[in-house]
């Protein structure tokens, strides 16, 4: 646990705020005490709703380390991760997360993810965005091919 590294995440959150990149969020991915990926919210700057600080930092670290797994890395983020970023944290296999602000703090400045948390927990038929299954049998043929692929990369 490093206050210095959290201060860097907070500095990046300020950069996002002052640079009009998006929301006031920053993050760093750290390996063996060294920063290997930096990110700040760039949602409005890139017109990319997935360009959250944590996702940007994870992408930068993966590119730098040439790996899609960060199991020997930690994340320092200026705010508790949203559901999308939390999923990215699990997919990248980060071993630990340190955060500063809470989701309640974010809600107080109009970054409220409560709807998403509720929607993820809701049965598909009860979600606000309609989701309908289509052509499953055709899509399953691709999965079957993947299963037989001898040189697939497991993750």
Indicate which residue of 54, 71, 80, 145 is catalytic. Answer: 54
Catalytic site includes residue 54: yes
**Length of the chain counted residue by residue:** 155
Rounded Cα gap, residues 142 and 39, in angstroms: 35
Regarding beta strands 26-31 and 34-40, do their DSSP bridges make them parallel or antiparallel, or are they unpaired?
A: antiparallel
Helix, strand or coil, per DSSP, at residue 130: coil
Rounded Cα gap, residues 155 and 153, in angstroms: 7
Write out the catalytic residue numbers: 54
């Amino acid at each position: 646990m490093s206050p210095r590294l959290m201060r860097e995440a907070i500095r990046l959150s300020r950069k996002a705020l002052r640079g009009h990149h998006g929301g006031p969020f920053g993050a760093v991915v750290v390996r063996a005490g060294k920063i290997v990926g930096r990110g700040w919210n760039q949602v409005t700057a890139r017109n990319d709703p997935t360009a959250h600080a944590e996702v940007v930092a994870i992408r930068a670290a993966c590119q730098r380390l040439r790996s899609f797994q960060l199991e020997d890395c930690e994340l320092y983020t200026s705010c508790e991760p949203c559901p999308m970023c939390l999923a990215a944290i699990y997919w990248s296999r980060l071993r630990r997360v340190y955060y500063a602000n809470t989701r309640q703090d974010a809600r107080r400045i109009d970054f409220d993810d409560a709807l998403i948390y509720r929607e993820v927990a809701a049965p598909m038929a009860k979600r606000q965005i309609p989701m309908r299954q289509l052509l499953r049998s055709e899509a399953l043929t691709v999965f079957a091919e993947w299963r037989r692929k001898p040189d697939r990369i497991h993750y």
